[in-house]
Amino acid sequence: MLRPGVVFGRGEGGNVDRLLRQLRRRAFVYPGRRDTIKGCGYVGELVRAMAFCAARDEPVYRANFAYPEPYDIETIAETLAAAAGLPAPRLTVPWWMVMAAAGAFEVLGRVGLRTGIDRDRVRKLLTSTHVRPERLVADGYRFETDLASGIRAWLASLDG
């Protein structure tokens, strides 16, 4: 049983995929701060970790999954931008402004305009979630990728 942090990879359609779309449109701004920790990992690494767990001689094996390095949102955004050949985001917008804008997008959503932006999603961006894979590492799991190589593998899979 693996409890993952943010997983990115082909077809994921979640937070990192959304970040890539915003970077491509030059629309990403840091919401209030840049140092929010986000436990994350590449889906290919997750599959390798699952195989490692399945090979254990234990009826139930529980561990967290994410890279052991505590990557912050600025590092994630800059690494993704560099790998995709895009400019890194530079602007940090005060928290209260981002929340006010998200509230306005919620109102637009109520009248039928789907935006995917709301205050709950913004709050999640501001909350650190450093998932620590301590048990995996203690039991000898060796990560084959890190953030940069995982992102490069993901982006390469999009080209094929």
Domains of the chain: 2-92+128-159 (3.40.50.720)
| CA quadruple 10, 15, 19, 25: dihedral sign | positive
> Which DSSP category does 112 fall into?
T
- The pLDDT confidence band at residue 160, using thresholds 50, 70 and 90, is low
Instruction: Give, for 107, the enclosing helix (H) or strand (E).
Output: helix 95-110
Is-above-0.85 flag for pTM? yes
- Considering only 87-91, 110-114, 129-133, which range has the smallest mean pLDDT? 110-114
How far is 105 from 101, CA to CA, in rounded Å?
A: 6
- Considering only 63-67, 85-89, 114-118, 135-139, which range has the smallest mean pLDDT? 114-118
Interval 121-149 mean pLDDT = 92
How far is 117 from 32, CA to CA, in rounded Å?
A: 15
- The pLDDT confidence band at residue 56, using thresholds 50, 70 and 90, is very high
- The pLDDT confidence band at residue 117, using thresholds 50, 70 and 90, is confident
**60 class by beta-carbon count within 10 Å (0-12 exposed, 13-18 middle, 19+ buried):** exposed
Residue 53 CA: distances (Å) to CA of 29, 40, 41, 138, 139: 38, 18, 16, 13, 10
Q: Please give the structure tokens belonging to residue 106.
A: 């919620």
Beta-strand relationship, 63-65 and 6-8: unpaired
Query: What is the per-residue pLDDT for 15?
Result: 86
Interval 114-130 mean pLDDT = 83
- Look at residue 143 and tell me whether its pLDDT is greater than 70: yes
Average model confidence (pLDDT) across the chain: 92
Interval 49-60 mean pLDDT = 94
- Look at residue 122 and tell me whether its pLDDT is greater than 90: no
Question: Is 22 in a helix, a strand, or coil?
Answer: helix
Query: What is the per-residue pLDDT for 110?
Result: 86
**Cβ atoms of residues 125 and 37 within 8 Å:** no
